């Protein structure tokens, strides 16, 4: 498991341990538990290449940050942004986020996929996903797995339907040799990984008796990546440094947060 940020460009990922302390993670869990209590009966999700209305599941808590100040504040946490800056540079925008909660013995698998190929409003490759462990995560409860170096050359791999009960309903073809190179990112709560938006990653179902919750926050280099805000489904936030696009909402740490979206 790569814990050296300087190897991020070569490996396509790296891990930071102990980014949030026990008190901070406790606050995150309290906020998450409140959201889970209010889970709706049905959700509209993007699955198998189209938007579908499905029975609500805690894996589908997409984009909480524009509606809930707690999650937006977490997205500009100084230590989180420090980790992102180590791989993307000082000018950073927040483009998306997603809470993925796998219930004990029930959590859905996530098939091998690339992030960037789902985001047609985002132009550019300098994008990273922060995967923050809210719970301790290991192979049994469905930790994330990455296939190192598969981002090289930024290939856009063809998607195929999984035909199964998984989070995305889509996957890409992965050879046995590639799959054997996969690394399980087992982490304690409060640690995080960063992965390139083209690196192949996924996770198994949660077969344990423990919950596995994570918060993914997606950031881009504000200088080299352009987001078409007219097509993008959530606001884009400037969280550190500078950006040229006046449509980005400035929430750098010394600025007040905007009113939550309804």
pLDDT, tens digit, 9 for 90 and up, residues 128-154: 999 999 999 999 999 999 999 987 876
46 Cβ neighbours under 8 A, 6+ residues apart: 52, 118
Question: Tokens 């589908």 map to which residue?
Answer: 60
Tokens of 111: 């098939």
User: To which H or E segment does residue 97 belong?
Assistant: strand 92-102
Q: What are the angstrom distances between the C-alpha of 176 and each of 57, 140, 146, 149? A: 31, 21, 14, 15
- Is CATH 2.130.10.10 the right assignment for the domain spanning 5-250? no
d(C-alpha 39, C-alpha 254), whole Å: 33
| Residues in the chain, overall count | 262
Q: Which of 92-101, 110-119, 197-206, 209-218 has the lowest mean pLDDT?
A: 110-119
Task: Judge whether 212 and 135 are in contact, CB under 8 Å.
Answer: yes
Percentage above 90 pLDDT, the chain? 67
Within 10 angstroms of residue 126's Cβ, the number of other Cβ atoms is: 17
Res 43: pLDDT: 65
**pTM of this structure:** 0.91
Tokens of 56: 């609500």
Q: Backbone phi, then psi, for 159, in 5-degree steps? A: -90, 145
């Amino acid at each position: 498991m790569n814990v050296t940020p300087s190897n991020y460009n070569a490996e396509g990922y790296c891990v930071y341990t102990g980014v949030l302390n026990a008190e901070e993670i406790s606050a995150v869990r309290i906020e998450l538990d409140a959201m889970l209590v209010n889970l709706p009966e049905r959700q509209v999700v993007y699955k198998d290449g189209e938007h579908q209305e499905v029975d609500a599941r805690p894996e589908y808590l997409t984009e909480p940050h524009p509606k809930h100040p707690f999650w937006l504040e977490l997205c500009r946490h100084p230590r989180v942004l420090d980790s992102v800056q180590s791989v993307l540079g000082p000018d950073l925008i927040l483009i998306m986020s997603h809470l993925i909660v796998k219930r004990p013995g029930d959590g859905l698998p996530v098939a091998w996929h690339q992030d960037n190929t789902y985001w047609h409003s985002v132009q550019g490759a300098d994008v990273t996903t922060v995967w923050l462990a809210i719970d301790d995560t290991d192979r049994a409860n469905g930790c994330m797995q990455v296939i190192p170096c598969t981002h090289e050359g930024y290939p856009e791999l063809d998607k195929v339907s999984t035909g199964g009960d998984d989070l995305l309903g889509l996957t890409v073809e992965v050879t046995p040799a590639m799959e054997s190179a996969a690394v399980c990112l087992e982490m304690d709560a409060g640690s995080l990984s960063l992965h390139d938006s083209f690196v192949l990653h996924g996770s198994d179902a949660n077969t344990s008796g423990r919950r596995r919750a994570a918060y993914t926050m997606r950031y881009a280099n504000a200088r080299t990546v352009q987001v078409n805000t007219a097509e993008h489904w959530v606001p884009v936030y400037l969280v550190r440094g500078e950006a040229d696009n006046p449509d980005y909402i400035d929430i750098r740490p010394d600025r007040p947060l905007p009113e939550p979206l309804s």
